[in-house]
Amino acid sequence: MSEKAREKSSKDEAEEVKEILSVVSTEIPTLIKNIIASVFSEEAGRNMGKAAGAFYKELKESGMPADAALRMTEDYMETFTGFGDLLKSVGKGNTNKFFIHHPKRPESPRQEDKEDEE
């Protein structure tokens, strides 16, 4: 391949990458905003409430103590809200805070940590 042909090929590839990045930079934020809107809509809130209620009820009916069922239901709901927080952070371009432990509940010791202490 001649030098001119390589230069033309490189310019074509660069232009193609530029076009792809342009589309991605406009489409991805719109996609994230739409996902966030669907997660935090009134209907989504109703559905999450119903899901949490059904989850709690099922745990209780299976014989789970009320305090354990409540704790597990809270964890279940945090899954939804954590996902929403992640989407918000990504939409703003900030994912650092998502990877910091959630301050609401103290971290339980990991099994590896317990074994190290013994």
Residue 102 placed within a domain: no
The answer to whether residue 12 sits within a structural domain is yes
Which residue range(s) make up the domain with 72?
3-92
pLDDT in tens, 79-117: 877 776 776 676 666 655 545 545 555 555 545 555 555
> Which comes out higher in pLDDT, residue 114 or 9?
9
**Burial tier of 19 (Cβ tally within 10 Å: 0-12, 13-18, 19+):** exposed
Q: How many domains does the chain have?
A: 1
In a domain, 111, yes or no: no
Residue 105 lies in a domain: no
Answer yes or no: is 65 within a domain.
yes
Is residue 64 assigned to a domain? yes
Is the whole model's pTM more than 0.75, yes or no? no
21 lies in some domain: yes
